A and B are shown apart, each in its own frame.
Chain A
């Protein structure tokens, strides 16, 4: 498409009226069929709010996450606006539900670019929605800041307009866990994971990482995604297993954990899980007593720890989360604390990028991408309450500390923090070589 590379001045000058369009039609079908579409991609209006198109999972399987992503994003936007906005312009969040569906996701980013004239797209969590939307984003040249923790960005599958600067990816998370598991819990691991892409990422990266630590995975147990009862799979767990590594997602995870507990009874091996299984779920729920003494990866500790940073306290207060990780207005409404900080941090990266590039409007989208790519160290601060991070401009992926907590008396107690270096792996792509 020849159009989006034009500057806004050119666009404004050549912006046709409806009569022009009609005249063009008169010229005949063949010419008309190839008529450029700049008419429809009108230029930006300055001195307007900066519009952030927020792709939110309000309905569908991601709704529990979406609700907290929504709250965190609103809190971050409110804070940024209190501090004077971005380049003196207020931030406006335009939320559209994608139904946690890749098809609708692609339609929604199109709506951001073409209808709402958003400056960026933002906030998607579920990998299939990210991947479904990304081709469209590349075509529309809409900067797309995802908060998905998928490896899809850093794997090189997507394009230069897709970035993940606010949350670490699953590959770095998983490999950073292996040293802790091997040193403290055991070297003979059985993995239980959902039989789709997210689970396969865990399977592949953790298996490699634990072998590098001198451990081994005895058995991979892949659970079909539609499953609602799990006991029948547990006999496949070998007796000599020292650690069970589990990661499940979706509404059936509670059943999974409960049935695992009932299967093992009093004699369980060590257990290590990803908190993804229990995001938005109260650890004190009936049936989860079994988890006491087991370990979890946490993107960000849900329970306020004793040595909690002032930034984490500030973040909690602004989003409206209490010391137990639940809503201040309803203690039963548990947050997705291990992921949602990503929305907050990403919006702050966007702000920093727009300020660094002197962003004025949609004509500066490419400059915004370059400004974000140029970022490296993101210090622990109000903008980055989860911890310090390092952004890799080539792979468009951020790297940061990971937390491991132990369940003690129905609460999660931080027992280990990885270094950022633990999460590094060799670059798999260099997006900066792609044209903007």
Chain B
């Protein structure tokens, strides 16, 4: 009999192997979709660290995603940096921004935290519009194919796109898994479950939260930077409030506080819209009804239900 911890590792390793193998079987359309899904699922993983494990509900994560997106995009379009450097700049932008916002927002909690993060993200969105000279505002700008080459590999190529997205997802998932299985992660869960008791046990709760915000913001920025580099478009819609709500939705659907939940939620939402739009023009209606049903019948999200009913050992 395998130990639960081993099962857990194998299960997540299996998911990664499956995603790797998938690229050889998927038809072209779904191949492209999966690349996109994995990038956005990494964003959701970043979000889940803060929301699902630490219990901090942010409504402003789009600013971190956009920091990566614009950090790397502008580094290339305005300063002509290479892809590698641009990626680092994107993540650094997210890291710094999350530290600043984290330091301020952690003075609040609960709904006030939601609003403070929402407001900072709105200010970020408006800032993108304000500097339209460089960002082209809502229209956004494109990164030329020739500028999107990493170590001689063109990121606009289908195969390398999938592979880059997969690598990003691997990094995010393994990091998340390692973190939540570590002592640090256990403290985070303790904070989520009972913040006062954790504090009384001598943990510096605010410090743990602060570190998690930075980590979460940086992963989100990494996903944003990768999105810009793989798909060649940087636009203000990614900084809008919708892109703060989406990760929350994906995480809740897939299962908050599960490592694989963000991916499941993202796949679910993507194909829900994609498939229903093939059947009816009223696909939003379908999406709406499904969301209501999920809220009623699967309160912990897909993976949360799986964990509470079948695989109790799942991280």
Contacts and interface: CB of A to CB of B under 8 A. Distances in A.
User: Do A's and B's CB atoms come within 8 Å in the complex?
Assistant: yes
Interface of A: 1, 18, 21, 24-25, 29, 32-37, 40-41, 58-59, 96-97, 101-103, 106-107, 110-111, 113-115, 127-128, 131-132, 134-136, 138-139, 150, 152, 157-159, 195-198, 200, 224-225
Contacts, number: 130
Nearest to A102: B235
Nearest to B246: A103
Contacts of B274: 107, 111
Interface in B125-167: 126, 129-130, 132-133, 136-143, 145, 154, 156-159, 163
Nearest to B27: A40
Contact of A135 (B126, B139, B143): B143
A133 B133 CA distance: 21
Interface residues of B, number: 45
B197 to A, nearest CB: 42
Contact of B27 (A24, A114, A152): A114
Contact of B139 (A32, A138, A196): A196
Given A110-B29, A195-B132, 17 more contacts: A34-B159, A37-B158, A37-B159, A40-B29, A41-B28, A97-B277, A102-B140, A107-B32, A111-B274, A131-B142, A132-B140, A134-B142, A135-B232, A157-B141, A159-B145, A196-B137, A200-B137
A32 B24 CA distance: 8
Contacts of B281: 58, 97
B237 interface: yes
A114 B29 CA distance: 5
Interface in B219-271: 231-233, 235-238
A121 to B, nearest CB: 14
Nearest to B33: A107
Contacts of A25: 21, 24
Contacts of B140: 102, 128, 131-132
B284 interface: yes
A97 B29 contact: no
A37 to B, nearest CB: 5
Contacts of A1: 154, 156-159
A40 B28 contact: yes
Given A37-B28, A37-B31, A40-B31, A139 B156 contact: yes
B61 interface: no
B36 interface: yes
